[in-house]
Amino acid sequence: MGGCVTHDIHIIGGGLAGSEAAWQLAQAGYKVRLSEMRGSGEMTPAHQSDRLAELVCSNSFRSDDADSNAVGLLHQEMRALGSLILTQGDIHKVPAGSALAVDRDGFADGVTAALEAHPNVTIVRERVDSLPAEGRTIIATGPLTAPMLAESIGRATGKDSLAFFDAIAPIVHRESIDMETAWFQSRWNKGSGKDYINCPMSKEQYLEFHAALMAGEKTEFREWENVPYFEGCMPIEVMAERGVDTLRYGPMKGVGLDDPRTGRWPYAVVQLRQDNASGTLWNMVGFQTKLKYAEQVRLFRTIPGLENAEFARLGGLHRNTFLRSPELLDGTLRLKSAPNIRFAGQITGCEGYVESAAIGMLAGRFAAAEIAGVDLPAPPRETALGALLSHITGEAEIETYQPMNVNFGLFPPIEGRTKKADRKRMYTDRARAALKDWLAA
């Protein structure tokens, strides 16, 4: 891009996040150049049109219940902040019970028309191949970022900082693990000696579990995904196919772990490791999987100690470009090593249409505040926006960082004894009060 600069900010990628970021900045009065490669003869393997904010798969924004669901709460917060994605979602809503589902064509047409009509937005159909060295920029190129730009991002962020595939192990809410059966201990008492939660299995339980893994229904890769199996993060069911004892000598080995109920090493074990700083979320170590979601819930609840497990995230493997954001980004989504650049959307490691748009919204608002020379504090962690943002920008464990949906496990826990039935409402009431205070300030 040469010549005289006529915009305040350059947004690259006109998906869910880039469209929302552009809207927030344009509404704040700033000139936006929005570069989208679709429409210039380019396409991602999953998109099918030139429209901005195209939904590449399902037409659902998931639950719209703001009282007892974290994504429903996120919808409510985004509406309160004038979200383009939620406005168009509401206009193009189709019947879907308590979920918000949309007519995908009407929705994407609506987003495209709103941005095309905005006097502060210039949409340029072009592919951008390198990170701009200067000028305020938001990168929102998503899980299928074009390869040359991905290479340029990789060069700027360093080796191993940009992943091209995810390998997601299920994450369990700590409070749903039965600690009468499971116990805290690190293998051979290393580290603090209590770094893992261990769920023991007898020989009979292990053999049954192995057989169920082999029989379980798996999801298929899309032809273009080309997901390789790396030795360190092979799906659990693929490992099971290698032999009945492979798991027992791999992630499920019981050696060095003393079951307090028997005083002996269990025949096999499932270990969970802390996944966020507040210790509300624990991931099942080595359990990345392509099993279908319903199958995962059914099968993993047969593990002793996990009979009542509530999953904050289920496992998966996909092609997915995402950064090690908790290490690389500051609290307002700027690349620490090049603060003229912000990241937004799924490339930051959030997961889902709504979460991507939410992070686009925050990137847009932080950038607008920066241009205006005002300091915009991050939304409080008690809100859905704040919980998601803080997870991405520092709260999550860096080493095991994988894409994440919004869920109550990202929020500061509710202190004191509460009835389970009341807890979700307590989270959402607290969030509404916190958002109100933040907006007032």
Ligand X SMILES: Cc1cc2nc3c(=O)[nH]c(=O)nc-3n(C[C@H](O)[C@H](O)[C@H](O)COP(=O)(O)OP(=O)(O)OC[C@H]3O[C@@H](n4cnc5c(N)ncnc54)[C@H](O)[C@@H]3O)c2cc1C
88 near ligand X, rule: CB under 6 A: no
Structure tokens at 29: 């009065």
Among the listed residues 23, 311, 343, 353, the single contact to ligand X using CB under 6 A: 353
Q: Are 182 and 305 in contact (CB under 8 A)?
A: yes
Among the listed residues 46, 94, 124, 227, the single contact to ligand X using CB under 6 A: 46
Among the listed residues 48, 58, 202, 337, the single contact to ligand X using CB under 6 A: 58
- Which residues share a beta bridge with 329? 335
137 near ligand X, rule: CB under 6 A: no
Smallest distance from the beta carbon of 57 to ligand X, in angstroms?
3
How many residues bind ligand X (CB under 6 A)? The answer is: 33
- C-alpha span between 204 and 372 (Å, rounded): 65
Indicate the residue among 66 and 347 with the shorter CB distance to ligand X.
347
CB neighbours of residue 69 within 10 Å:
22
356 near ligand X, rule: CB under 6 A: yes
- Which segment (39-47, 244-252, 286-294, 388-396) binds ligand X by CB under 6 A? 39-47
Q: Are 47 and 9 in contact (CB under 8 A)?
A: no
Among the listed residues 7, 8, 14, 317, the single contact to ligand X using CB under 6 A: 14
Q: Which residue sits closest to ligand X, CB atoms considered?
A: 15
CB neighbours of residue 165 within 10 Å:
17
What letter would DSSP give residue 406?
-
What's the gap between Cα 219 and its chain centre?
A: 20
Smallest distance from the beta carbon of 18 to ligand X, in angstroms?
6
Strand order in the sheet with 9-12: 121-125, 32-36, 9-12, 137-139, 338-343, 334-335
Site for ligand X in 326-345 (CB under 6 A): 345
Smallest distance from the beta carbon of 225 to ligand X, in angstroms?
8
128 near ligand X, rule: CB under 6 A: yes
**Which residue from 374, 368, 385, 388 is spatially nearest to 435, judged by alpha carbons?**
385
- Residue 441 vs residues 27, 380, 434, 436: alpha-carbon distances, Å: 20, 12, 11, 9
Interface mask toward ligand X for 288-327; x: CB under 6 A: ----------------------------------------
Indicate the residue among 36 and 65 with the shorter CB distance to ligand X.
36
CB neighbours of residue 205 within 10 Å:
16
- C-alpha span between 368 and 242 (Å, rounded): 54
- Which segment (51-59, 96-104, 181-189, 386-394) binds ligand X by CB under 6 A? 51-59
Smallest distance from the beta carbon of 78 to ligand X, in angstroms?
14
Indicate the residue among 177 and 388 with the shorter CB distance to ligand X.
388
∠ CA 112-27-429, rounded to 5°: 95
Residues near ligand X (CB under 6 A): 12-18, 35-38, 44, 46-47, 56-58, 127-128, 140-146, 149, 345-347, 352-353, 356
